[in-house]
Amino acid sequence: METLQKVEENFWLTRSVARTVGLHLGEAMAAGQLTPQDYSEMVARCHSAGCSGLCAEWLGQQRNGHADAPPHFCVHTDQFRALRRN
């Protein structure tokens, strides 16, 4: 059960960082820019990165819930940049 809760936390962190930098991952999937498998792999990478606490802290520090870029330690930085270009 603990692992499922952790994966759920990483789902929300991935989604929240994306939203903070102006991306909506659900819309990216609907537009064909991101597959459900891609999204699942993003959550798994987030889980493996082990920086959930730092990520949550970063999210809490963003004024008005917006940022120009994800935190420097984010494992999704390149993927978020690619999605923003599309």
In the chain, the amino acid numbered 54 is L
| Among the listed residues 40, 68, 75, the one whose alpha carbon sits nearest the alpha carbon of residue 54 | 75
Has this prediction a pTM greater than 0.85?
A: yes
Which tens digits make up the pLDDT trace of 9-61? Answer: 999 999 999 999 999 999 999 999 999 999 999 999 999 999 999 999 999 99
Residue 2: predicted pLDDT = 64
| Among the listed residues 83, 14, 84, 82, the one whose alpha carbon sits nearest the alpha carbon of residue 48 | 14
| Rounded Cα gap, residues 81 and 77, in angstroms | 6
pLDDT at residue 77 above 90? yes
